[in-house]
Structure 1
Amino acid sequence: MFSYLKRKFEKYKIKTTFKEYPHKVVEYDLPEFGKVSFARWENPLEAEKHLSQGQVDFYKKILKKGDFIIDIGAHIGDSTIPMALAVGKEGTVLGFDPNPYIYKILEQNAKLNKEFTNIIPLQLAITTYEGEFFYNSSEATYNNGGIAETEQNRHGKYGLNEKVKGVKLQEFLEANFPEQLPKLTLIKIDTEGYDTDIIQSILPLLKQHKPNLIFECFTKLTKAQRHVLYDLVADLGYDLFYVEAFDINTKKQAIKRENMTDWKHFDILAIPKI
């Protein structure tokens, strides 16, 4: 009992005390590539991330060399790297994350494996209008969090001293990457329940280019909100699938509207119908 209480107190202390944690570069031996490097964040509250050939092969099922990929809410780049390996150095992956402490690790991961990948990190939030936003977390180490228009919000009591910049994705891409847009084949969205708003804001982009989509059904969404999210994507001509993990051997299950309440928090892969 004493050791349990001690561990609980230590975790609480970490969670409520600000500290900027460094990264450590580790290597993985992937059959297709050989040695692949990964900058792992040493924040003790961060779930340990790994790279595998199975992750790369998951994305290779829906991507090809040279494709253009958008990773919104890229975090430290644990999904960005497998995507980038799947599309190769001739492809491009934009990794968006507004959290300055997480972005530093994402930036390091973008610098690694340059012989295999082309990752462009961007310290920006994707929003429904361009502006500056508050960023809050439930942890003082900013291991998680999200943006909001007000200083007091649902994301937590620990707020950054400075606001983060938000941009509209379609306008940003048309202004900065117009030559890449015809090659757009995947948009991944992980924004703490803000996914529906982002999808609504990029409807013309989705209708024109029909990229694959990966997004969350956030734990706090109501039944009605889950149905809105499903209808929004399904009505665009997509088939939706529950995925347990982003790995070639993962469980994959077709989702109907009534399945949106089967799981509390889960990831969805949406593939355009042929």
Structure 2
Amino acid sequence: MRLTEFFYLLGLKPSARVYGHSTETVHLEKDGEVKFALWRNPRFNGFEILQSEIDELRTFISDGDVAIDIGAHCGDTALPMALACGPNGFVLAFEPNPFVFSILASNAILNPGKYNIVAFPYAVTNQDEALVFKYNGPDFPNGGDKHGSSVWKHGSTYSLPVEGRRIGPMIRARLGEKVSKLRYIKTDIEGHDLSALKSIEDLVDEARPRVKSEVNVHNTPEERRALYRFFAEKGYAVHLVEQSTLFGRKLAENDMASIRHFDIFAVPE
């Protein structure tokens, strides 16, 4: 817990702060001019749209394919995914935090004709329910479901009501006969990635997409091993995501506890 969070816990905390966005433009070698909404929160590090990232996604995503972004935040990952899916495909993006969902929604409409992003303001849960997420600051930059965890551990004192949904039926309704076109799933939901993946396990088994997931610093060794086994038992190889590539070195189950905070990329073999 940081010192500021300690004072927040004592009740000495400012009211919520809302930040808008600026519209930026990047000129990519292959994809041309791309506009994106950049959240102006001073605590947000920003992001870049890189041709190299889109090119790597295109090694397994083609125009007309479908991808899912769970924990889409402001659209920093959904946008490159959508460019890879092209004008004939689409990305289904889920983000329950209204402070960043508005930025995600802007990114969904900024480049008509280049891609399609369908944004949903929901958390991924096993049943439709109302939840209260906890965040560590008045600008609500990072947070999630802290149920069962001590506030003295996570230091998140700002509460935000969100809506949880069973997204499997929603996804199937959107995809229809395009389930076989599901090529990629990305999850980044503050340590609850395995729960989200299990909620759409039937889609993973049917379409066998590539999957990128976060291994959070707060995930226990057993939770980390369980995430690894989820993929290994389905015949997936698990790679460490490195700075410049999804296809880093292959990981063994024992490797999952040796790194503090990282992303994995699971590939069907």
Could you tell me how far 1:176 is from its partner in structure 2?
3.7
Greater displacement, 151-160 / 86-95: 151-160
Q: What residue identity is the alignment partner of 2:157?
A: K
SS in 2 for 1:156: coil
SS of 1:140's equivalent in the other structure is coil
- CA distance, structure 1, for counterparts of residue 132 and residue 177 of structure 2: 32
Provide the C-alpha distance between the structure 2 equivalents of 1:263 and 1:185, rounded to a whole number of angstroms.
Answer: 27
Instruction: In structure 2, give the amino acid aligned to 1:195.
Output: D
Alignment coverage as a number of residue pairs:
259
Where structure 2 has 5 or more consecutive residues not aligned to the other structure, the ranges are none
Q: What amino acid does structure 2 have at the position aligned with 1:44?
A: P
For residue 110 of structure 1, the aligned residue among 95, 98, 108 is 108
Give the root-mean-square deviation of aligned CA atoms: 2.3
Does residue 41 of structure 1 match 2:39? yes
Q: Which residue of structure 2 aligns with residue 69 of structure 1?
A: 67
Return the TM-score normalized by structure 2: 0.89
Task: Say if 1:134 and 1:151, in contact at 8 Å, map to a contact too.
Answer: no
Identity of counterpart residues, as a percentage? 32
Please give the alpha-carbon distance, in whole angstroms, between the structure 2 residues aligned to 1:180 and 1:41: 33
| Whole-Å separation in 2 of the counterparts to 1:152 and 1:254 | 34
In structure 2, the CA distance between the partners of 1:62 and 1:200, relative to structure 1 (3 Å rule), is same
Cα contact 1:89–1:116 (8 A) shared by 2: yes
Q: How far apart are 1:16 and its partner, in Å?
A: 5.1
Contact 2:239 2:247 in 1 (8 A): no
Cα separation, 2, equivalents of 1:108 and 1:145: 21
TM-score (norm 1): 0.88
Contact 1:84 1:118 in 2 (8 A): yes
Cα 1:133–1:84 shift into 2, 3 Å: same
Secondary structure at the counterpart of residue 182 of structure 1 = helix
In structure 1, distance between residues paired with 2:100 and 2:155: 16
Which amino acid is 2:202 matched to? P
Does the CA-based 8 Å contact 2:247-2:265 persist in structure 1? no
* Alignment-mate amino acid for residue 269 of structure 1: F
- The alignment partner of 1:28 has SS state of strand
Q: What stretches of structure 1 of length at least 5 have no aligned partner?
A: 1-7
Shift of 1:149: 5.6
Is the counterpart of residue 255 in structure 1 residue 251 in structure 2?
yes
In 1, the alpha carbon distance for the partners of 2:176 and 2:132 equals 29
Q: Which residue of 2 aligns with 1:158?
A: 158
1:215-246, Cα deviation, whole Å (9 max, x unpaired): 0111111222211111111111111100123x
State how far apart, in whole Å, the 1-side matches of 2:241 and 2:71 are. Answer: 18
Which residue in 2 is equivalent to 1:267?
A: 263
Matches within 5 A, 1:3-18: 17-18=15-16
Query: After TM superposition, what 4+ stretches of structure 1 lie above 4 angstroms from structure 2?
Result: 148-155
Q: Which amino acid aligns with 2:71?
A: G
Counterpart residue identity of residue 122, structure 2: L
Q: Deviation per CA, 1:125-150, whole angstroms, max 9, x where unpaired? A: 11122211112201110111113568
1:5 aligned residue? none
